[in-house]
Amino acid sequence: MAIMEYSVDVKDISRVATRKFAINLEEEKKMAKAVFQLEPLTCPSCIKKIETTLTKTTGVDLVKVLFQSSKVKVDFNEAQLTPQQIETTITKLGYSVLSAKVS
């Protein structure tokens, strides 16, 4: 009897642990997309500068800078980074962000 009760407890604990682990994984990756409209970019080296800096930023998955339309598209993990933080990073590089769309 005592052994049976014990084995039931162990099963329950492992089930709880598995559920918690799954929730943690979900919380760690909440992917979002943001598009920042910048003031017109004046030369291609701006693209490199913005791309390099954002790519190195924790929580950023993918960066695309569109020279023609002066837009920065960023795929990022909402659990690690906010759109505001990305905007601040771009601004600190010397580029004004006119508007931002997050989806």
Can residue 65 be called a binding residue for Cu ion (CB under 5 A)? no
Rounded Cα–Cα distance for residues 33 and 25 (Å): 19
Can residue 46 be called a binding residue for Cu ion (CB under 5 A)? yes
Residue among 7 and 52 whose Cβ is closer to Cu ion: 52
CB of 56 to Cu ion, least distance (A): 18
Identified binder of Cu ion from the candidate list 24, 45, 68, 103, rule CB under 5 A: 45
Stretch of residues binding Cu ion (CB under 5 A), selected from 15-23, 24-32, 38-46, 78-86: 38-46
Burial code of 54-87, b = ≥16 C-beta within 10 A, e = fewer? Answer: beeeeebeebebeeeebbbebebeeeebebeebb
Stretch of residues binding Cu ion (CB under 5 A), selected from 25-33, 36-44, 52-60, 84-92: 36-44
Can residue 43 be called a binding residue for Cu ion (CB under 5 A)? yes
Question: Cβ distance 60 to 86 under 8 Å?
Answer: yes
Interaction site with Cu ion (CB under 5 A): 43, 45-46
